[in-house]
Chain A
């Protein structure tokens, strides 16, 4: 007996005994207009500038629109702007907004809203900070036009305003955008294709979005964050499921429609179900890594870092993290995202082939004095635990003294910010990964910065990397950009800014009655329909 029949039978008894019990029936049309989505993580807060977690960005992209949006070729296209003009010297940018843009509260989107939103976003974003550093003025000229005057040209302006990396430059009403960026906003009004149902938000369990009927999509073809954002369902429900097995069961039973990040162990099970489609989620994938602390021994010694990099066998990491599905991973010869125009293997031959004997020789030459390597591993993160195990084995085989600290990600997050020596509460290395979308070029690639105290955790100081980054930002042509990328890659490998452990992708899965799911760095809910 199937569930519906069982409950139909019991419904008769219920009707006879208690007319007040409503039936659980939901019309099929209503079900088809609601898309139930299992996100990668809980939407714990909803301020995409205050917090920069990817899950917040993913939800925010449906609610807040952007001035530009990158397409699947990573080219920024106008989104909220109708167009822009740049002065001949490249110092003055004039932007004009599209007509008819409305916020969810019915008020028009004005240039002053844009100016306030940029002012809140810029201090939080690496590219925004660069623009602020050369900003002369940012003003609303009238309701639809705003001007950004700079003291130096900034050719990557449109990419900065349209990139997928967090924080994205989302446009909010002025009254919300004037909230300090250290304070969380409490009103979630955007001008994107969906509204956020704050009254139905149960952090840790559910978030609900509804189609914004007064949204004016662009003409053309939708591609990632660019083009028309036509929402084809009335309602989008995010159902948070911390347990992957439960999510797999719910997808198989048809209780949810789309699962953003199934773990690789469960993918074969999902593939066997003819009602479920499985495909790569994000072609830009992720770069696994461990970061070494450049401030303290032993990794303040370049030769020790080089020895470790020489010993790394990325295949070991990838098999431990992703499994034997070789379609999902590849070995890296550089620091940028494979398959993109920025990918470079300049100087990266050493990364692709492990050489343990050579690494041991180099370690001996380095003068390594058996200092303990405090290796932090967030065991509650499914990707990090196996990476940590492989690293501990690698370092021991290399002849290093490993102090393996198995803890949770919250503790790693606290401890990695400490600059003390490892023996005084600090650390020597920790594991993480970087979204390929952030590593497509130096613009939002925090992990590659090597500007000492201002750099990401590990605080590498490598002037040649920084010089290459500056050259990339100033590059007027694709050829000069390419030269800068090669320079950065070579310097990053030689100085081991960090240690990449391989490139990997993950799957997404959805019911076959859902169509329009695309591969991308975030789930795009426009263009997705359900029959």
Chain B
């Protein structure tokens, strides 16, 4: 087991190296010029050239890539072209809101979607099943920003129950923290709930046909025990897999959600950096996201052993 974990952790090194090369090359080839954006619209061509030179953007690809990799190996993600702040510091400023949003969304989604999927499978073909599936279709179909605006209109503007926007750090209290996260999490969680609920239903339907479930019923096991102990545990592997894959969905959705609810998280940092061509920030954030995604996948792989003792590494 530990050998497997070490092997997987070591395997992240070539993956991250490839991501680094890919991201750097993509940004190098992409059109756009941070110097022009910095200089402002009224700047002269000479101003733009001067700023480009001062940023070192006029140097060859290999020199810039080499310097960047050298700094990364020393744990330095570089300095933002626009703010002159270390990228690590900017990520640190923004990571809490994004982690909070993803955590609350994850808890919300899993605690709603899995019971929904289980009940839909149990009541297959009834109006409950159709309602759950209808919700799932809706969750997939309606864009996050539409849900976000609707929620903000109803619960913030009309009812005045929750704030429209912003983020309150956890250190300022659980309720203020949660108050700002409820609407964004519901908006972001829609697709995620739909995804998990559908997979849970499909997997549960398959498991409920299995012989051991029939045996449990024959032994007089209660419905709750059959659903949540015998069936759900055996359906857990594909569900956990989808939850893991869905993390990428959450990262992508966080970009939109953070903009709609003005949450100062990594998603907005990424979009701002892309629009301005703030290369060190884009590279730093993409590396971080890739690293997190690799780790999440590792955690999911390890979780398999909890749900299915037959799986051994």
- Assembly CA distance A530 to B33 (angstroms): 41
- Assembly CA distance A242 to B272 (angstroms): 9
**Residue A255 contacts which of B46, B51, B164 (CB distance < 8 angstroms)?**
B164
- Assembly CA distance A14 to B162 (angstroms): 17
Q: Say if the beta carbon of B125 comes within 8 Å of chain A.
A: no
Q: Say if the beta carbon of B141 comes within 8 Å of chain A.
A: no
Q: Say if the beta carbon of A296 comes within 8 Å of chain B.
A: no
Q: Taking CB as reference atom, which chain A residue is nearest B271? A: A242
- Assembly CA distance A239 to B167 (angstroms): 11
- Assembly CA distance A417 to B262 (angstroms): 34
Which residues of B are found within 8 Å of A22, using beta-carbon distances?
172-173, 176
Q: Say if the beta carbon of B82 comes within 8 Å of chain A.
A: yes
**Residue B259 contacts which of A124, A165, A242, A380 (CB distance < 8 angstroms)?**
A242
CB contact list, A155-178 vs B, under 8 A: 165-166
Q: Taking CB as reference atom, which chain A residue is nearest B43? A: A52
Which residues of B are found within 8 Å of A413, using beta-carbon distances?
32-33, 36-37, 48
CB contact list, A470-487 vs B, under 8 A: none
Q: Say if the beta carbon of B157 comes within 8 Å of chain A.
A: yes
Q: Is the CB of A446 within 8 A of B44?
A: yes
Which residues of A are found within 8 Å of B149, using beta-carbon distances?
245
- Assembly CA distance A47 to B33 (angstroms): 19
Map CB proximity to B onto A43-81 as digits: 1 under 8 Å, 0 otherwise. Answer: 011010011111000000000000000000000000000
Selecting from A201-209, A366-374, A517-525, the interface stretch reads: A201-209
A interface, by DSSP: helix, strand, loop or mixed? loop
Map CB proximity to A onto B42-79 as digits: 1 under 8 Å, 0 otherwise. Answer: 11111111110110000000000000000000000000
Map CB proximity to B onto A229-267 as digits: 1 under 8 Å, 0 otherwise. Answer: 000000000011111011101101101000000000000
Map CB proximity to A onto B68-110 as digits: 1 under 8 Å, 0 otherwise. Answer: 0000000000001011110000100110000000000000000
- How near does chain B come to A181, taking the closest CB pair, in angstroms? 9
Residue of B45, B49, B162 with most chain A CB atoms under a 10 A cut-off: B45
Q: Say if the beta carbon of A122 comes within 8 Å of chain B.
A: no
- Assembly CA distance A183 to B33 (angstroms): 18
Q: Say if the beta carbon of A93 comes within 8 Å of chain B.
A: no
Q: Taking CB as reference atom, which chain B residue is nearest A183? A: B54
- Assembly CA distance A311 to B177 (angstroms): 57
Q: Taking CB as reference atom, which chain A residue is nearest B49? A: A417
Which residues of A are found within 8 Å of B43, using beta-carbon distances?
52
- Assembly CA distance A340 to B226 (angstroms): 82
**Residue A7 contacts which of B48, B179, B262 (CB distance < 8 angstroms)?**
B179
Q: Is the CB of A241 within 8 A of B165?
A: yes
Which residues of A are found within 8 Å of B44, using beta-carbon distances?
446, 454, 456
Q: Is the CB of A3 within 8 A of B161?
A: yes
- Please, how many residues of chain B have a CB less than 8 angstroms from a CB on the other chain? 62
Which residues of B are found within 8 Å of A357, using beta-carbon distances?
none
Q: Say if the beta carbon of A415 comes within 8 Å of chain B.
A: yes
- Please, how many residues of chain A have a CB less than 8 angstroms from a CB on the other chain? 67
Which residues of A are found within 8 Å of B80, using beta-carbon distances?
203
Which residues of A are found within 8 Å of B53, using beta-carbon distances?
182
Q: Say if the beta carbon of A10 comes within 8 Å of chain B.
A: yes
Q: Say if the beta carbon of B211 comes within 8 Å of chain A.
A: no
- Assembly CA distance A186 to B85 (angstroms): 9
* Known A-B contacts A380-B275, A413-B33, A417-B36; A446 and B42 likewise in contact (beta carbons under 8 Å): yes
Map CB proximity to B onto A198-224 as digits: 1 under 8 Å, 0 otherwise. Answer: 000011111000000000000000000
- Assembly CA distance A444 to B164 (angstroms): 41
**Residue B161 contacts which of A1, A11, A240 (CB distance < 8 angstroms)?**
A1
- How near does chain A come to B58, taking the closest CB pair, in angstroms? 12
Q: Is the CB of A203 within 8 A of B83?
A: yes
Q: Is the CB of B156 within 8 A of A249?
A: yes
* Known A-B contacts A7-B179, A182-B50, A408-B275; A203 and B90 likewise in contact (beta carbons under 8 Å): yes
Residue of A2, A3, A249, A438 with most chain B CB atoms under a 10 A cut-off: A249
* Known A-B contacts A186-B84, A205-B264, A255-B166; A14 and B269 likewise in contact (beta carbons under 8 Å): no
CB contact list, A431-446 vs B, under 8 A: 432, 434, 438, 444, 446
Q: Is the CB of A252 within 8 A of B259?
A: no
Q: Is the CB of B264 within 8 A of A206?
A: yes
Q: Is the CB of B157 within 8 A of A252?
A: yes
Which residues of B are found within 8 Å of A324, using beta-carbon distances?
none
- Assembly CA distance A10 to B45 (angstroms): 59
6 contacts between A and B (CB under 8 A): A14-B175, A44-B83, A45-B84, A47-B84, A51-B40, A410-B276
What 18 new A-B contacts, CB under 8 Å, besides A44-B276, A250-B164?
A7-B179, A23-B175, A24-B175, A51-B38, A242-B262, A246-B260, A249-B153, A249-B157, A249-B165, A252-B157, A252-B164, A255-B166, A410-B32, A413-B48, A417-B33, A444-B42, A446-B44, A447-B42
A: residues with CB less than 8 A from B are 1-3, 6-7, 10-11, 14, 18, 21-24, 42, 44-45, 47, 50-54, 124, 165-166, 182-184, 186, 202-206, 239-243, 245-247, 249-250, 252-253, 255, 380, 407-411, 413-417, 432, 434, 438, 444, 446-447, 454, 456-457
